[in-house]
């Protein structure tokens, strides 16, 4: 089997890359270890930056998002029992965010690829990469119980944080930067009406809590938990009691509750692999970098990477020029480190750290008060949250 771009992973990075390449006449094959149903049902991100929304719309996969997604013009920071709104349009020259679940984006992309005759192989895990430093790199994969090989011009490693692509870069040809946070997030989906029109980020002595939404009848909530916490530790009533305690306000705000139909613990960590390239292998999305979810940047970074990669691959296909491709890693890493800093900053400001250091607590409160009261500080949060413009080489 042969193709121009062999894409490992049908997450947002892999599927969007395949779609962008197709629009410019570059062919690709996507290999995905899981079934289509599993990919389309995995609950993950919900916040799309303005640039992500504009891009999905301009490349023809934004119709359902425009109909079913919800535009949010701000977020609330809640601390000391009071809410403080950060208004995005007035602080960013009219920009906003969209709430539309990641698995809905994936459904739209899969549909668009399959309708255009695209080649997505589900239940076809890549098991190894060969000859990455030659001009004929190969991906070994399994399908229907048989070992197969995909020969390509270029391999795009879009296989997320536990894939095979990053480890295929020799250890002495990459640097990995890591940060582990001493807490996790407990996430739930509940059938309940909306408690708040906008996302609420709460700092409380008991720990962080987040109110988000998926639809008028389905709500997404998270709260800081132990890093090794387990779903079994949290019966429904304990979850609601903890959320009520952390989200309580002095003006009697109430949390709308209802049946919980999904629970999970999310690890909070940062990883960057540098460079994001080795020979003919280009990493994109979570395969190259992970951010803690507090900044809502993971999916958006994956989109930003593949925009740069698609442009560079199309240029190489059209003119043979490789300067954009050669600059791929440097171009992406500027945005990646900005997002890492923003995500670390939001995480540090909003969580309780073990040790219960009273000095640290006062610093966090001071930072929150500053962001809530200074238009300059609020503008910095807003600019990063709605997303900085895409990097250009």
Name residues contacting ligand FAD, limited to 37-76 (CB under 6 A).
39, 44-47
Structure tokens at 181: 């946070």
Answer with the entry of ligand FAD, ligand PHB, none that 300 interacts with (C-beta below 5 to 8 A by kind): ligand FAD
Round to whole Å and give the CA distance between 245 and 184: 18
Provide the minimum distance between the beta carbon of 26 and ligand FAD in the complex, in angstroms, as a whole number. Answer: 19
Site for ligand PHB contains 296 (CB under 6 A): yes
Provide the minimum distance between the beta carbon of 10 and ligand PHB in the complex, in angstroms, as a whole number. Answer: 20
Structure tokens at 254: 């109430």
Instruction: Give the CA distances from residue 286 to residues 39, 134, 163, 166, 360, in Å, rounded to whole numbers and listed in that order.
Output: 15, 25, 9, 10, 31
Site for ligand PHB contains 97 (CB under 6 A): no
Site for ligand PHB contains 294 (CB under 6 A): yes
User: By C-beta, is 165 or 293 nearer to ligand PHB?
Assistant: 293
Cβ-based neighbours of 216, under 8 Å, separated by 6 or more: 193, 194
Among 168, 188, 199, 283, binds ligand PHB (CB under 6 A): 199
Cβ–Cβ under 8 Å, residues 64 and 359: no
Round to whole Å and give the CA distance between 180 and 25: 41
Site for ligand PHB contains 247 (CB under 6 A): no
Round to whole Å and give the CA distance between 18 and 259: 38
Instruction: Give the CA distances from residue 375 to residues 85, 91, 381, 388, in Å, rounded to whole numbers and listed in that order.
Output: 11, 8, 10, 18
DSSP output for 214-250 = SSSSEEEEEEEE-TT--GGG--HHHHHHHHHHHH--T
Provide the minimum distance between the beta carbon of 199 and ligand PHB in the complex, in angstroms, as a whole number. Answer: 6
E strand intervals along 173-326: 175-191, 199-202, 209-213, 218-225, 260-274, 277-278, 281-283, 289-290
Site for ligand PHB contains 158 (CB under 6 A): no
Provide the minimum distance between the beta carbon of 47 and ligand FAD in the complex, in angstroms, as a whole number. Answer: 4
Among 9, 11, 12, 46, binds ligand PHB (CB under 6 A): 46
Provide the minimum distance between the beta carbon of 70 and ligand PHB in the complex, in angstroms, as a whole number. Answer: 11
Among 220, 311, 316, 352, binds ligand PHB (CB under 6 A): 220
Provide the minimum distance between the beta carbon of 101 and ligand PHB in the complex, in angstroms, as a whole number. Answer: 8
Q: Which residue is nearest to ligand PHB (CB)?
A: 46
Round to whole Å and give the CA distance between 247 and 393: 43
Site for ligand FAD contains 164 (CB under 6 A): yes
Name residues contacting ligand FAD, limited to 88-107 (CB under 6 A).
102
**Partner residues linked to 129 by β-bridges:** 139
Name residues contacting ligand FAD, limited to 171-190 (CB under 6 A).
187
Structure tokens at 79: 């601390």
Provide the minimum distance between the beta carbon of 29 and ligand PHB in the complex, in angstroms, as a whole number. Answer: 31
SS3 336: helix
Among 21, 86, 158, 243, binds ligand FAD (CB under 6 A): 158
User: By C-beta, is 29 or 371 nearer to ligand FAD?
Assistant: 29
Rg (CA), the chain: 21
- Strand 2-8 relative to strand 146-157, pairing: parallel
Among 1, 4, 27, 34, binds ligand FAD (CB under 6 A): 34
User: By C-beta, is 69 or 137 nearer to ligand PHB?
Assistant: 69
Instruction: Write out the residues near ligand FAD by the rule CB under 6 A.
Output: 8-14, 31-34, 39, 44-47, 102, 125-126, 158-160, 163-164, 187, 266, 285-287, 293, 296-300, 302
Instruction: List interacting residues with ligand PHB (CB under 6 A).
Output: 45-47, 199, 210, 212, 220, 293-294, 296
């Amino acid at each position: 089997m042969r193709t121009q771009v062999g894409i490992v992973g049908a997450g947002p990075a892999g599927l969007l890359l395949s779609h962008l390449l197709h629009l410019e006449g570059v062919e690709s094959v996507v290999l995905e270890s899981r079934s289509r149903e599993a990919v389309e049902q995995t609950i993950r991100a919900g916040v799309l930056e303005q640039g992500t929304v504009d891009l999905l719309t301009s490349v023809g996969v934004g119709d359902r998002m425009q109909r079913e997604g919800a535009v949010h013009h701000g977020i609330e920071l809640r601390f000391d029992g009071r809410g403080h709104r950060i208004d995005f349009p007035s602080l960013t020259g009219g920009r906003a965010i969209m709430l539309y679940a990641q698995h809905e984006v994936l459904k739209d992309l899969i549909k668009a690829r399959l309708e255009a005759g695209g080649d997505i192989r589900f239940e076809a895990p890549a098991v190894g990469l060969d000859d990455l430093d030659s001009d004929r790199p190969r991906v070994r994969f399994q399908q229907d119980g048989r070992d197969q090989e995909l020969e390509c011009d270029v391999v795009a490693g879009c296989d997320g944080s536990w894939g095979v692509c990053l480890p295929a870069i020799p250890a002495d040809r990459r640097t990995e930067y890591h940060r582990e946070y001493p807490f996790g997030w407990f996430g739930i989906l509940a059938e309940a009406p909306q408690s708040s029109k906008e996302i609420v980020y709460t700092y409380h002595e008991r720990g962080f809590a987040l109110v988000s939404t998926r639809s008028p009848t389905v709500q997404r909530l998270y709260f800081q938990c132990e890093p090794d916490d387990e779903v079994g530790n949290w019966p429904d009533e304990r979850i609601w009691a903890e959320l009520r305690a952390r989200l309580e306000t002095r003006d009697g705000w109430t949390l709308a509750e209802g049946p919980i139909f999904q629970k999970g613990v999310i690890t909070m960590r940062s990883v960057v692999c540098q460079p994001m390239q080795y020979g003919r292998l280009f990493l994109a999305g979570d395969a190259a970098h992970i951010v803690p979810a507090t900044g809502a940047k993971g999916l958006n970074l994956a989109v930003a990477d593949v925009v740069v990669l698609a442009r560079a691959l199309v240029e190489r296909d059209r003119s043979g020029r490789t300067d954009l491709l050669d600059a791929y890693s440097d171009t992406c890493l500027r945005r990646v480190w900005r997002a890492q800093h923003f995500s670390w900053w939001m995480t540090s400001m909003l969580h309780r750290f073990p040790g219960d250091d009273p000095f640290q607590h006062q610093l966090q409160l001071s930072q929150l008060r500053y962001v809530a009261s200074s238009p300059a500080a609020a503008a910095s949060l807003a600019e990063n949250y709605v997303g900085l413009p895409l990097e250009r080489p």
